Structure 1
Amino acid sequence: MRSALRAGMTLIVTLLLFLAFNLVWLPKLPDSRWDFSQQKIHTLSPATRQLLRTLESPVDLYYFNSKIPQKSHALKRYGQRVEDLLKEFEKAAKDKINLHVINPFPFSEDAYKASLFGLDDTLGFMGLIGTRSGQGTQRIEAFRPDNEALLEYEISHLIYKLMYPERPTVGLLSGLPLAAPAGNLLEQMRRHFNLVELAPTLAQVPASIATLMVVQPYALPESALYAIEQSVLRGTKLMVFIDPVSEIGGSAGSTNARLNALFNAWGIQMPADKLLVDNLYASSAKPGPGMPTVLHPARLQLPRQAMAADDVSTWKLNSVTVSSSGALSRAAKSHTFFTPLLQSSPQSSLLDAERFASSTAFDAFVEEASTSGQRHVIAARLEGPVYSVFPDGLKGQPPGRQKAEQVQVVVVADTDLLSDAVSNAHPNSNALFVLNTLDNLAAPEALRRIQPRAMTQPLHRLEPMREAAAQAYRQGAAELERRLEHTEQAWQRLNPPSTSLGTHAVHTNIQLQALNKERLRLPMELHALKLQAYASLNRFEQKLEWLMVVPMPLLLCLIAWGLFLYQQRRRRIAITVAC
């Protein structure tokens, strides 16, 4: 009796101590977390912590993450990943960030507020709203899993915009007339930046301009090239567009020895008489007024896989369209880091600009490009030390700066992506590419040093298989797509939309019936062709899924079977000993 009472008292005391520890002492313990990921994706970088230390007044972050059943498991997992990182921001800011996590139910007040602030509800809310007393509101419409490498930068960018809402100053120096051909882009640049247009004959870039955009420097005088170089050596960030054949200017870029020397000093080179053609990324275009649509091997529509996956310049981009672009390469004995941003496919090659301009048929160029097997760089980021190519100054002027330890330059081998004609021809993100790059160059050092966290890459064998499947589909689909477009145009011409009462009469015109059959049959043929081209890739992916799913249950069954055999053996031994 006494031993039972003692045991009961001991159990009660243990239970009380357990409750006291959880209710009183546990909340006072420090919140410790360990990040075992290879890229430390759950830990804030030193650059982010430095940015947060500059916060002078509190910032409120409202994270809307709707946990509805319709969301996929991958989106739910990524939503939790975003929430965990936001909590790291709140912890590192030390009372300067107030995080509010909201689960907006459909048709609720929270869902109304999220929609009112412009958050995207296509797949369920998963966006962020930031506010600061006395300042405007910033938002991230939706966090996308395909931008996970830039997640830390994305949140830091919003916080920086809350701290410094003023538009950064960007200088524009162009050797081409941009007002008419690139009016839409210039309007967007004026909306996001304080745009200062500089005269091509300038002798010095104003010190107030920390970010400079230069278009087609082939057409600029030597004094302007010297001003650009001295400004870059002084610390100005530069985005430059060069083009072997600029459709905006209507003439090829002439050879400029001083400009070539300047690019070589920066660690990059581009043949001024070569342009890039690509069989896989070629898009449809009309060679001239009234001419039928054909596959244009020099008008390239670059998909997401042609872009750097973890660079801010390609942030939220879907596709970029370039036309008659050149190709960049790293110069010999270069000391700068050369990071490709936009690249062609392996089915691309370089052609003489004069030969392409004098040609009337594109079919031969398409076949020639498909045999190259080499990818070419269309845009690249340069970082590192450079030296001046004007050691003696210019025209009797005293020598200027001779070197810089670190420059920030982005070079694009195309000027036509700036034009409205190219941007409007196909759905693309040309303007966003320019705005992303200029915004990143104009950002402070603390924000610019936040490096993307490289995520786990897929199996290397899948990428060439995807490109081969896309190539096979594109080769067969080009003619069918042209026929479908011509059929649709003929159908619309012979069957214009009209208003009718009640029922609609069925057309008995033989030509209209034939066109209708053709416009309905061609999409079926394209679908069948796509299934055939991607059949081997789909089979391989299904095998991978089985290899990822089946071994785990088999392993668990083997472990259970082993435990069963072990228990059986112990029982037999126990029975033998007992006997």
Structure 2
Amino acid sequence: MKRLMYSGTGLLVLLLAFIAFNMASGVLLPGARLDLTEQKLFTISDGTRDILEELDEPITLYFFFSDRASKDMVVLRNYARRVEEMLREYERVADGKLKLQIIDPQPFSEAEDRAAEFGLQAVPLTQTGEQLYFGLAGTNELAQQEIIPFFALEQEGLLEYELSRLINSLANPEKPQIGLISGLPMGGGMNPMTGQPAAPWVAFEQMQQMFEVQQLEADIDTIPEDIDVLLLVHPKALSEAALFAIDQFVLGGGKLLAFIDPLAESDQSMEAMMEGMADGKASDLGPLLAAWGVNYNPEQVVLDSRLGMSVSRGQGQLPARHIGWLEVEPAFMSREDIVTAPLQLLTVATAGALQPQEGASTQFLPLLSSSPHSALAPSSRFSRMQDPEILLTGFKADDQIYHFAARLQGPARTAYPDGLEGRELELSETDNINVLLVADTDLLTDRMWVQVQDFFGQRVPQPWADNGGLLINALDNLSGSEALISVRSRGDFSRPFTVVEDLQRKAERRYRASEQRLQQQLEQTEQRLRELQQGQDPTQLTELNAEQEQAIQRFLDEKLAIRKQLRDVRYELNADIERLGNLLKVINIALVPALLTLGVLLWWLIGRARRRAV
């Protein structure tokens, strides 16, 4: 038997067996996959799987990537390979209902013309007209189209959600129905302060472009059945019947996005003006929040000395720091939720605090939060406030984190267990609700995130914050299927060399300190030279005395010494990185094979000892 194993015939038999095993595994186990990445980047989520398995009509995807043009772009090509592998996995799970075409649009080709017709974005690479395409187009049986113009590297964590959203939109091509109940003039109208007509809010205009918006009354007693998402903005005038209708809508599987506020500064209603600057500008959802496991005080505003905005005091005055108007940075947003993951900056004004109740059955997922340098203040402090820096007087952070926005999911009970007079209770509980709460309404106003300019009679918005994106992302997410809502943001594919980057940062700090020391010494020497030259005859400035020559020589010596120190720092940086590289080479080239060889040898010795024992 041993002779056969080591003979040419034996090696041929092993080769044939290996080929047969691969062919059999390909036939018998066509869908077997093993994803060893830390965040399962190549494994699609259950929500995506449900969307693909429920496709009724075929969908065709066209993946455009300029393979030849990107030959020197390693990072981009790696990302493109991940996109392609993810799409092929989608095609496999869809079981024939999804067709994928991979296209390399060469310059001046029909494929390039087709990419342009779909509306994909091209990045110019050279002056000769060569362009880079890296996008996706999809079509359904009705010839409707959806595109991802360009796969941006910074949006890598949203890859699965964007692909699933595109497919879900093609599978359900009708615009989602949004039911809007608003206590603020989002659609424009007459400004009661100026008596002039007011333009619609940019956020409202953007919402109308993507969704069908139905205006609902505040005293509504039933939510229409065709409403996909109910949007509440400053719902301060809701009747008890409307609250009961919202309760039943949410328990029945309806999606809710609610913007409430302890102090809606944009509320210019007669009620608010009669009751004072702070009183009458608060909104709440009554007993609904308590039933959903949320604590919220409509009379308290979050102050934050870390996130406070710098606001103008007027011409000729220095800007003031407003710790009631906050700039929420990515570090204080959820990077795991689809709604906030793509955003970079949000601004809120006199926002309230949302906190989870202890023992609540619902799951409270924070989306926007304050820093630990925050505290609560009564909204009455803002009544007729002239200087925002007065908020800093006596301010003391309580080291707690307050949440401006949150997603609520999970089991919930009705806020009206006894029903409502004249109304029968149809639903008393549910296994899961889908609610997004935001404790600020001013963030939707134009002044908090966008500047609108008139360009030949057209309104051209120029956003400087992502507030509008928050509204659109939330509606887009909630208006999708339950499966799409469950798809979360994923991790990044690229894995940086953190140890090398840390070495570089340390060396750069040392280099920068030495460079600053050199500059400081240079300025001191020049000042010394100027002092020495004072009182000299201008006709003799070219002649240097001994003291001047010594000063210059000292400077030259110091300069040479510091330049040598800088070279040493650079050398140490390269040496540290080189040592790390050599260590990794030793591990990969020598240590790992040695361990494998040792493992095989131990396995052989153990087997031999067992055979002798028998």
Is the alpha carbon distance of 1:336 and 1:13 closer, same or farther for their aligned partners in structure 2, counting shifts above 3 Å? closer
Distance in 1 (CA, whole Å) between partners of 2:588 and 2:359 is 58
Q: Does 1:551 align with 2:580?
A: yes
- Per the alignment, residue 206 of structure 1 pairs with 224
Could you give the per-residue CA deviations for residues 268-300 of structure 1, whole angstroms, max 9, x where no partner exists? 122212212333333333457997653332222
Superposed displacement of residue 458, structure 1? 9.5
Distance in 2 (CA, whole Å) between partners of 1:183 and 1:102 is 41
- Per the alignment, residue 90 of structure 1 pairs with 91
Is the alpha carbon distance of 1:415 and 1:341 closer, same or farther for their aligned partners in structure 2, counting shifts above 3 Å? same
Over the aligned positions, Cα root-mean-square deviation in angstroms equals 4.1
Is the alpha carbon distance of 1:454 and 1:367 closer, same or farther for their aligned partners in structure 2, counting shifts above 3 Å? farther
- Per the alignment, residue 137 of structure 1 pairs with 145
- The secondary structure found in structure 1 opposite 2:298 is coil
- Per the alignment, residue 255 of structure 2 pairs with 237
Superposed displacement of residue 128, structure 1? 0.9
Distance in 2 (CA, whole Å) between partners of 1:52 and 1:115 is 27
**Structure 1 counterpart of 2:469, one-letter code:** L
**Structure 1 counterpart of 2:76, one-letter code:** L
- The secondary structure found in structure 2 opposite 1:133 is coil
Matches within 5 A, 1:527-546: none
Indicate which of 358, 367, 371 corresponds to 1:341: 367
Superposed displacement of residue 436, structure 1? 1.4
Could you give the per-residue CA deviations for residues 8-60 of structure 1, whole angstroms, max 9, x where no partner exists? 9x799999979998999998686543212344321223332222122233222
Superposed displacement of residue 327, structure 1? 1.5
Matches within 5 A, 1:206-285: 206-250=224-268, 251=272, 252=278, 259-285=285-311
Distance in 1 (CA, whole Å) between partners of 2:585 and 2:441 is 59
- Per the alignment, residue 193 of structure 2 pairs with none
Superposed displacement of residue 450, structure 1? 2.8
- The secondary structure found in structure 1 opposite 2:231 is strand
Distance in 2 (CA, whole Å) between partners of 1:558 and 1:297 is 53
- Sequence identity (%): 34
Is the alpha carbon distance of 1:117 and 1:225 closer, same or farther for their aligned partners in structure 2, counting shifts above 3 Å? same
Could you give the per-residue CA deviations for residues 311-350 of structure 1, whole angstroms, max 9, x where no partner exists? 1212532322221211211123321100011122333332
Q: Does 1:154 align with 2:162?
A: yes
Is the alpha carbon distance of 1:22 and 1:349 closer, same or farther for their aligned partners in structure 2, counting shifts above 3 Å? same
Superposed displacement of residue 260, structure 1? 4.1
- Per the alignment, residue 575 of structure 1 pairs with none
Superposed displacement of residue 215, structure 1? 1.5
Distance in 1 (CA, whole Å) between partners of 2:591 and 2:239 is 81
Indicate which of 403, 417, 441 corresponds to 2:478: 441
Q: Does 1:176 align with 2:184?
A: yes
Indicate which of 432, 449, 452 corresponds to 2:469: 432
Is the alpha carbon distance of 1:18 and 1:72 closer, same or farther for their aligned partners in structure 2, counting shifts above 3 Å? same
**Structure 2 counterpart of 1:168, one-letter code:** P
Is the alpha carbon distance of 1:27 and 1:185 closer, same or farther for their aligned partners in structure 2, counting shifts above 3 Å? same
- Per the alignment, residue 46 of structure 1 pairs with 46
TM-score, length-scaled by structure 1? 0.71
Indicate which of 349, 353, 357 corresponds to 2:383: 357
Distance in 1 (CA, whole Å) between partners of 2:11 and 2:287 is 85
**Structure 2 counterpart of 1:444, one-letter code:** S
- The secondary structure found in structure 2 opposite 1:217 is coil
Q: How many residues align?
A: 478
Distance in 2 (CA, whole Å) between partners of 1:562 and 1:437 is 51
Tell me if the contact between 1:210 and 1:442 (Cα under 8 Å) persists in the aligned partners: yes
Give the stretch that moved more between structures: 211-220 or 173-182.
173-182
Tell me if the contact between 1:347 and 1:371 (Cα under 8 Å) persists in the aligned partners: yes
Is the alpha carbon distance of 1:352 and 1:293 closer, same or farther for their aligned partners in structure 2, counting shifts above 3 Å? same
- Per the alignment, residue 552 of structure 2 pairs with none
- Per the alignment, residue 100 of structure 2 pairs with 99
- Per the alignment, residue 326 of structure 2 pairs with 300
- The secondary structure found in structure 1 opposite 2:450 is helix
- Per the alignment, residue 118 of structure 1 pairs with 119
- Per the alignment, residue 343 of structure 2 pairs with 317
Is the alpha carbon distance of 1:352 and 1:12 closer, same or farther for their aligned partners in structure 2, counting shifts above 3 Å? closer
Superposed displacement of residue 192, structure 1? 1.4
- The secondary structure found in structure 2 opposite 1:379 is strand
Distance in 2 (CA, whole Å) between partners of 1:201 and 1:289 is 45
- The secondary structure found in structure 2 opposite 1:171 is strand
Q: Does 1:194 align with 2:212?
A: yes
- Per the alignment, residue 78 of structure 1 pairs with 79
Tell me if the contact between 1:383 and 1:408 (Cα under 8 Å) persists in the aligned partners: yes
Distance in 2 (CA, whole Å) between partners of 1:245 and 1:257 is 8
| Regions of 4+ moved over 6 Å | 10-29, 255-258, 288-292, 367-370, 456-459, 545-549, 558-563
- Per the alignment, residue 62 of structure 1 pairs with 62
Matches within 5 A, 1:450-461: 450-454=487-491
Superposed displacement of residue 102, structure 1? 2.4
Is the alpha carbon distance of 1:111 and 1:419 closer, same or farther for their aligned partners in structure 2, counting shifts above 3 Å? same
Distance in 1 (CA, whole Å) between partners of 2:56 and 2:109 is 34
Superposed displacement of residue 380, structure 1? 0.3
Could you give the per-residue CA deviations for residues 444-469 of structure 1, whole angstroms, max 9, x where no partner exists? 2232233444559999x99xx9xxxx
Q: Does 1:164 align with 2:164?
A: no
Tell me if the contact between 2:179 and 2:229 (Cα under 8 Å) persists in the aligned partners: yes
- Per the alignment, residue 427 of structure 2 pairs with 401
Distance in 1 (CA, whole Å) between partners of 2:263 and 2:575 is 50
Tell me if the contact between 1:234 and 1:404 (Cα under 8 Å) persists in the aligned partners: yes
Tell me if the contact between 1:254 and 1:272 (Cα under 8 Å) persists in the aligned partners: no
- The secondary structure found in structure 2 opposite 1:126 is strand
Distance in 2 (CA, whole Å) between partners of 1:193 and 1:385 is 29
Tell me if the contact between 1:201 and 1:223 (Cα under 8 Å) persists in the aligned partners: yes
**Structure 2 counterpart of 1:418, one-letter code:** L
Could you give the per-residue CA deviations for residues 510-529 of structure 1, whole angstroms, max 9, x where no partner exists? xxxxxxxxxxxxxxxxxxxx
- The secondary structure found in structure 1 opposite 2:420 is coil
Superposed displacement of residue 72, structure 1? 4.7
Distance in 2 (CA, whole Å) between partners of 1:309 and 1:280 is 20
- Per the alignment, residue 377 of structure 1 pairs with 403
Tell me if the contact between 1:60 and 1:98 (Cα under 8 Å) persists in the aligned partners: yes
Rg (Cα) greater in structure:
2
Q: Structure 2 unaligned runs (5+)? A: 1-6, 125-131, 189-197, 273-277, 452-462, 503-568, 593-614
Superposed displacement of residue 440, structure 1? 1.6
**Structure 1 counterpart of 2:187, one-letter code:** A
Superposed displacement of residue 385, structure 1? 2.0
Give the stretch that moved more between structures: 28-37 or 383-392.
28-37
**Structure 1 counterpart of 2:158, one-letter code:** L
Tell me if the contact between 2:262 and 2:283 (Cα under 8 Å) persists in the aligned partners: no
Is the alpha carbon distance of 1:259 and 1:55 closer, same or farther for their aligned partners in structure 2, counting shifts above 3 Å? closer
Superposed displacement of residue 189, structure 1? 1.8
Tell me if the contact between 2:367 and 2:407 (Cα under 8 Å) persists in the aligned partners: yes
Distance in 2 (CA, whole Å) between partners of 1:239 and 1:546 is 56
Tell me if the contact between 1:217 and 1:225 (Cα under 8 Å) persists in the aligned partners: no
Superposed displacement of residue 148, structure 1? 3.3
- The secondary structure found in structure 2 opposite 1:405 is strand
Could you give the per-residue CA deviations for residues 174-219 of structure 1, whole angstroms, max 9, x where no partner exists? 2333222753222222221121111112122223323201122233
Indicate which of 441, 445, 452 corresponds to 1:415: 441
Give the stretch that moved more between structures: 400-409 or 81-90.
400-409
Distance in 2 (CA, whole Å) between partners of 1:179 and 1:345 is 34
Superposed displacement of residue 167, structure 1? 0.5
Distance in 2 (CA, whole Å) between partners of 1:456 and 1:334 is 36
Superposed displacement of residue 411, structure 1? 0.4
Tell me if the contact between 1:326 and 1:414 (Cα under 8 Å) persists in the aligned partners: yes
Is the alpha carbon distance of 1:333 and 1:95 closer, same or farther for their aligned partners in structure 2, counting shifts above 3 Å? closer
**Structure 2 counterpart of 1:235, one-letter code:** G
Superposed displacement of residue 371, structure 1? 4.6
Distance in 1 (CA, whole Å) between partners of 2:412 and 2:315 is 47
